[in-house]
């Protein structure tokens, strides 16, 4: 099982005082959620840093996603997320059905370095990104926020 990032559409009227507790109690039953592979998130990470967000751990308005914890995406961040995802989905449509992406550089036992390579399934990545795009569209239409829970 690979690591994933969870995104939840949360109506503004839902008060969440402790995001970790909410996540533990609702992650399996919440209807409006999307899972994105950590490999894909890592690949696209720099562009997600352009999104205005709120970090409930620090209590600060920031840019980008907290890769290991909670991040709130509210307006105007939701609309920026939609635009970024539009471009990534379009770019991925140009990819072959199966392709490799580079990962982190890893140390091998023989004393050499090697860049990790991961095989990606085009239909699956487009499915995941489209699901997140659709969730963000729902958030932009109503009075909702997106709660991101990192790996």
pTM: 0.88
pLDDT mean over 100-109: 83
What is the rounded distance in angstroms from the CA atom of residue 95 to the CA atom of residue 120?
10
Q: What CATH number does the domain containing 26 carry?
A: 3.40.1760
Number of structural domains in the chain:
1
pLDDT score recorded for residue 69: 87
What is the average pLDDT value for the chain, to the nearest integer? 90
Q: State CA 124 to chain mean position distance.
A: 15
Which residue did the predictor score with more confidence, 118 or 47? Answer: 47
Given a contact cutoff of 8 angstroms between Cβ atoms, the answer to whether 14 and 47 are in contact is no
Domain that holds residue 129: 4-149
Structure tokens at 106: 């890893």
Q: What is the pLDDT of residues 79-89, one digit of tens each?
A: 999 999 999 99
């Amino acid at each position: 099982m690979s690591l994933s990032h969870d995104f939840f559409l949360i109506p503004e009227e839902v008060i969440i005082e402790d995001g970790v507790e909410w996540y533990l109690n609702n992650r399996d039953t919440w209807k409006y959620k999307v899972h994105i592979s950590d490999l894909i998130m890592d690949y696209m990470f720099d562009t997600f840093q352009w999104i205005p967000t709120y970090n409930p751990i620090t209590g600060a308005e920031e840019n980008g996603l907290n890769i290991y914890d909670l991040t709130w995406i509210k307006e105007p961040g939701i609309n920026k997320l939609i635009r970024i995802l539009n471009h990534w989905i379009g770019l991925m449509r140009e990819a072959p059905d199966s392709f490799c992406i580079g990962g982190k550089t890893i140390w091998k036992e023989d004393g050499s370095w090697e860049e990790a390579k991961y095989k990606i399934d085009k239909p699956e990545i487009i499915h995941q990104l489209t699901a997140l795009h659709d969730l963000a569209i729902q958030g932009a239409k109503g009075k909702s926020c997106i709660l991101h829970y990192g790996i």
